[in-house]
Amino acid sequence: MTHIAAAGGFALGGFSIPDNLLSGFVGGVVGGALGLFGALIVVWAEGHRRRRDQKAALRLLTFEIATNLHTFETIAEQGAGATKLLTMAVWEKEQVPVASYLTFKNLGTVAMPYLRLAAVLRYRDGFDQVSFGNWLAGLDGQQTIQSAIAEFTQAQEVVGPKTMTLRRRFGRWWQLRWEQAGKRLS
């Protein structure tokens, strides 16, 4: 089936071998480029999904931090009765997305109040109610509560702005500008 073509090259079934090689090469390059483009889209979409999950975890953690802060403030005013409202559920479940989103310094600021909270929960669960109430009313318990309030306040300051959407950030910026203008006029 091989014959010498009029142009001086070998041909198979009416097509020359260089044309077949060139066509295969072009097809491979185009297919490779399309495959690379598709892979880049998949990688981008995965990164976008991961960032969305991290922000969702931070939003949940913001609510838990606010709840624990309010509960510690209530404990400081009223005593041990509110300790049943303290929770670490979101922190325990969402540590990996939170840790991958925050810087090391910010992660330490968020983790410290949870270490203190874990100690308070161990005391609460390890002692009877009277002994725990006595510890909480004592100097060590009061210092622990005040430290927890300060640490949860710092954690709230770290996590809160990271969960704001662009619209909320602009609204907050506009509100601050409005307040500054009002102060200048008065």
pLDDT tens, 166-183?
A: 555 556 666 677 777 777
- When pLDDT is cut at 50, 70 and 90, the band that residue 164 belongs to is low
pLDDT (0 to 100) of residue 147: 95
Residue 122 contacts residue 88 (beta carbons within 8 Å): no
Mean pLDDT computed over every residue of the chain: 82
Helix (H) or strand (E) holding 85: none
CB neighbours (10 Å) of residue 176? Answer: 10
Beta strands in the chain (DSSP E): 3-4, 10-12, 15-16
pTM tops 0.75: no
pLDDT (0 to 100) of residue 8: 52
| Residues 31-48: tens digit of each pLDDT | 888 888 888 888 888 877
Q: Enumerate the domain spans of the chain.
A: 50-168
